[in-house]
Amino acid sequence: MPDDIEEDALAPVRRSSVLIVDDQAAVLQTLYQLFKDTYEVFVATSGAQALSRAKVNPPDLVLLDMVMPGMTGMEVCRQLKEDPETQNIPVIFLTGNCSVDDEARALDAGAADFISKPFNPRIVSVRVNTQLRLKAKSDLLRRIARTDALTGLGNRRHFNSTLFKEWRRCARNSLPISLVFIDVDFFKRFNDIYGHPMGDYCLSSVASAMKSRMWRPADLLARFGGEEFVCLLPETPLKGAIHKAQELEAAVRDLAISHEGSSVAPVVTISLGVAAALPAQGDDPETLIDAADRMLYESKAGGRGQVRSVEITSA
């Protein structure tokens, strides 16, 4: 952990959430009373209910009974760890079986800790707090790893992982998905005229202007590299993506950042290439990337400061 990251900065801005899973009402009540004033608490009385709630609203930690009717806690833990959406949630097992073998099996399944019943409320509280602080640190490091330092947008790595995830989701549900490739026009000339510090200011300002036009939580604006950006629009057909691209183009032009080296306008502008698809299972998202990149090339070849678009068919 870098020395310049203060401990207070690791604490989440919202209250941490804890999902308590146990088939015994007395245990649920005891743990709920223990944590309700400190954390946002959810409860489940079966493994299936726990998985459903964790999928819809992922908690920051799961307190999980190992032995339950039907689906065991071990199976719940296994499924949580196999799902990319929930695999980073720490799991603490609670169980009356306190053998070394049980503890080893729990840790091998991916559990972060193991507490034997009957439990001491103070010990449970301390261990839960420890795991939540560790998760806050891990979440912070993951955010840093997927964030572009200059603009604060997602970086290319984050875009790639999000694209593949959203592509598969849209393919499963027969939903459209669109992609916008964006390039700052004549950026090398801008750097040559105004210097690299102003170039950084330009990119940061362009990023902020475009981000202000992003409304939906599922949409992603990221820095692709250099002066290139990308906008991923799940559940969006071509018409909607074109409208969003036009909004982004206008937002950047309205910044009115002087650019004496541009052949498009006296201010900084962007060129945009839009591609939309209705993916099917087994289709390759690279086809969407290639199409958007091709449209960006056409936009630049056609005079820049404009939007070009295409709808691609299923591979």
Nearest to 18 by CA among 90, 108, 104, 112: 90
Q: Are 78 and 145 in contact (CB under 8 A)?
A: no
69, 100, 179, 311 from 224: Cα distances, Å? 49, 49, 12, 22
The Cα 153–Cα 155 span in angstroms is 6
227 is catalytic: yes
Q: Are 272 and 308 in contact (CB under 8 A)?
A: yes
Q: How far apart are the first and last CA of the chain?
A: 45
The Cα 164–Cα 303 span in angstroms is 32
Which of the following is catalytic: 227, 228, 249, 298?
227
Q: Which residue, chain included where needed, has tokens 């939580």?
A: 217
The one-letter amino acid at 157: R
Give just the sign of the alpha carbon dihedral 216, 218, 223, 225. Answer: negative
Q: Are 11 and 140 in contact (CB under 8 A)?
A: no
The Cα 314–Cα 303 span in angstroms is 30
Catalytic residues: 227
